[in-house]
Amino acid sequence: MTTRRKAYARAGVDVDLGSQLKRRIQRLLRQTHGPQVLGKIGGFVGLFRAQFPEMRDPVLVASIDGVGTKLKIAFALDRHDTIGADLVNHCVNDIAVVGARPLFFLDYIGCEKLEPRVFDQLIRGFSRACRAVGCALIGGETAQMPGMYRKGEYDLAGCIVGVVDRAKIIDGSKIKQGDVILGLASNGLHTNGYSLARKILFETMQLKINSRLPGSRSTVGAELLRVHKNYQSLLAKVPSGIIKGLAHITGGGLIDNLPRVLPKNCDAMIETKSWRVPRIFQILQQGVDLAEMYQVFNMGIGMAAIVSEPDAKRTMSILRARRIGRIERGSGKTRLKL
């Protein structure tokens, strides 16, 4: 057996190292666990006792996602804790749009070679972000696959499961003409548009990862590695029934994400001058059509909420949001007033 393990390690897969690292991270996982998490860490499955006495008709909500080529920035800076938090927050926001609260999260890490320092940073990022929203990190998978990835690189995916009372699901069905669209500010690119951003910054503008952004105190790397905002805690403060629709502004921007919650007879009219577009997006508009910018990037709006006019002022205060548009008669599209 010793000979076989050493041969496998020479082939690029160190089973013993993987087992050691998984034992080391048990404390980080336990920090996210409540009484609902059953079984031991490191088993074949994660066990979660689902009891929701406060809900009449609980509905489980699931989503899976990755962080795209933002990983390239983490590789270049050799910083990996924030990318783990990005993944959790992205997934939490995706289920928050229907009013769900997160229950548990599972991660997948595929790598060329298991690096203990990198692995520890990733798990710390997952754990920190899960603790912030009361979400249990109950397991995952780490795959060492030499020959599949470039040296020092890896890929991430995350799966989240949440719950919402069926009567409180936010599905956009009550949206009507005259409703108000509120925008919750992003703090950068979040986890989308990085392929175009990297091309503009590193190829067209010939900047380096540690270059200063034009007109900014921040470096390119620091700006691009800003952690994807989590909106769930703010959204949970809004009384039930007030928010009619929510759109997480990820890949596709405002143009493609708002229609996902609109009735077929309504359009979202966005007043693009109603908020100040962050400097990073102004820099990125190098030969890119302005309308396309709103389809690739979030342009400073990470989440959009739709409410009735009488509820707008109160909801704006709770969400720290601003009015960015209105619902008009239409065919289920986003229209930009540039």
259 Cβ partners below 8 Å, 6+ apart? Answer: 268, 332, 333, 334
Does the pLDDT value for residue 110 go beyond 80? yes
Cα distance between residue 281 and residue 300, in whole Å: 8
Cα distance between residue 305 and residue 321, in whole Å: 9
Q: How far apart are the first and last CA of the chain?
A: 67
Asked if residue 148 lies in contact with residue 111, where contact means CB atoms within 8 angstroms, the answer is: no
pLDDT band (50, 70, 90) for residue 147: confident
Asked if residue 134 lies in contact with residue 192, where contact means CB atoms within 8 angstroms, the answer is: no
User: pLDDT per residue over 72-84, tens digit each?
Assistant: 999 999 999 999 9
User: pLDDT per residue over 305-316, tens digit each?
Assistant: 999 999 999 999
Asked if residue 178 lies in contact with residue 47, where contact means CB atoms within 8 angstroms, the answer is: no
Calculated CA dihedral for residues 112, 118, 119, 125, nearest 10 degrees: -130
pLDDT band (50, 70, 90) for residue 3: low
pLDDT at 138: 92
pLDDT, the chain, mean: 92
187 closest CA partner among 233, 228, 232? 228
Asked if residue 138 lies in contact with residue 29, where contact means CB atoms within 8 angstroms, the answer is: yes
pLDDT band (50, 70, 90) for residue 5: low
286 closest CA partner among 226, 196, 154? 196
Cα distance between residue 269 and residue 186, in whole Å: 20
* Rounded mean pLDDT, 155-165: 97
Report how far apart, in Å, the C-alpha atoms of 161 and of each of 95, 102, 304 are.
Answer: 8, 6, 22
Cα distance between residue 166 and residue 306, in whole Å: 19
Give 204-258 as a DSSP string. IS---TTSBPTT-SSBHHHHHTPPPP--HHHHTTSPTTS--EEEE--TTHHHHHG
Could you tell me the domains of the chain?
Answer: 2-168 (3.30.1330.10), 180-337 (3.90.650.10)
pLDDT at 33: 86
pTM score over 0.95 = no
